[in-house]
Amino acid sequence: MKSRHAYAVGALLGLAFAVLMARVHAGPQLESQRLTLRLENEKVRVLELRLKPGEQEGFHTHPQYVLYALTNYRVKNTAADGTSKVFERKAGDVFWGQPITHRGENVGDTEVHALIVELRQSPRRPSP
């Protein structure tokens, strides 16, 4: 009886480990299905954003970030408090963004295509 119990526990632990490893290899869950993770390390997270005309992404949060527009587009950003603002970007525009929780909606007639580089917080070094 004890050996069956040990076998069952071992099998469950093995299954849990396999599921955990599959999640680790799949990468972090992104807030939006329209974002593709391109690079992530201890300094930055690089995301590629694509929104077709009329598409909208759900609410999500960015730390400080830099956005680089790859196409001309119009996007309406709605903040967590409900306020909205429409931005027109041109291919090659670079935008600095403070931390924000928002959702985006493509309100133009071209695809939103941009790279977003989120900055990671660096651990503070003690003063000498």
3-state secondary structure labels for all residues of the chain: CHHHHHHHHHHHHHHHHHHHHHHHHHCCCCCCCCEEEEEECCCEEEEEEEECCCCECCCEEECCEEEEECCCEEEEEEECCCCEEEEEECCCCEEEECCEEEEEEECCCCCEEEEEEEECCCCCCCCC
Beta-bridged to residue 46, according to DSSP, are: 39, 117
pLDDT score for 104? 96
pLDDT score for 15? 36
Averages of pLDDT over runs of 10 residues in the chain (128 residues) are 49 37 39 83 97 95 97 97 97 97 97 97 66
